[in-house]
Amino acid sequence: MNTLNEIYADADPAVVRANLNQAKVNMNTWFFPQMEMRGLLTEQQIYDFFFLSHLQERAFDDNFSLTDEDVAELQANFPQTRNIQYILVDDYDVANEIIAVLQETDAEEISNVLFDYMIEHEGNFLDTLTAPPIDGMPEAFDDAAFALEMNEFTTTPVATENGYYIIFNSNISEIPSLSEIRQDETARLRESVQYMESLMINFRASQNLRFSDPQIQAQYDAIVEQNRRDVDGL
């Protein structure tokens, strides 16, 4: 049977103490009440708790470290979103008249002008679109909408079986930086069932992890059992 210290013989107690002391600073007078809520009543129990957190960080790094190539690929495939505003008219000439008005409109006013036309004609806002097809819209609409750059509108009517569309792309979301991608993906992995299964179940089973304090062990066993149920869908 392996103890905590035997699992990672090179685990750094100084890091554990630094994390523990920083938590005391951050939580101030709430530190010990919060520890008590977790059933941690002695200095040794609190240390074991932070030591386990340290081991979890080590296990996470061993199993889920992101390479620069991983992060770059995630950024290259990041799904940008578009906000599309449109109006639909039955008459081609009317559609061209509206486009002519838009071409004489200041860029910051185009959305408002289109909204005014929505009162007279059919129209709508389609928010946070990531990729075609757009539910309920014809293919020609999809093609035109996703060809627009931000703050661009269609300069010719988009002919479909529904009529003629004038489409305006009011926003394209920014692509996060590499550091933001790394931070977000790391957070996602930490919350994933894959991580919990690997760390809290497989890691424990392979190492036969035990705590010397029976209360801490019981709490840990309860967490492991709950995660097993989550993984199995029970």
Same domain, residue pair 61 and 89: no
Same domain, residue pair 140 and 168: yes
The beta strands (E) that lie in the chain are given as 82-89, 122-129, 152-153, 158-160, 163-172
Same domain, residue pair 98 and 31: no
Residue 121 counted as domain residue: yes
Which residue matches tokens 């991983």? 70
Q: Report the amino acid identity of residue 154.
A: T
| Residue ranges of the chain whose pLDDT lies below 70 | 1-10, 193-211, 220, 223-224, 226-228, 230-234
What is the predicted pLDDT for the residue at 143?
A: 95
Residue 72 counted as domain residue: no
Same domain, residue pair 164 and 106: yes
Taking all residues of the chain, what is their mean pLDDT, rounded to a whole number?
Answer: 85
What is the tens place of the pLDDT at every residue in 85-144?
999 999 999 999 999 999 999 988 999 999 999 988 998 999 889 888 888 899 999 999
What is the predicted pLDDT for the residue at 219?
A: 74
Residue 74 counted as domain residue: no
Structural domain boundaries enclosing 10: 4-65+192-232
What is the predicted pLDDT for the residue at 2?
A: 47
Alpha-carbon distance 91 to 46, whole Å?
A: 74
Alpha-carbon distance 234 to 218, whole Å?
A: 21
Query: How far is CA 111 from each of CA 108, 151, 154, rounded to the nearest angstrom?
Result: 7, 9, 13
Q: Which helix (H) or strand (E) holds 103?
A: helix 92-103
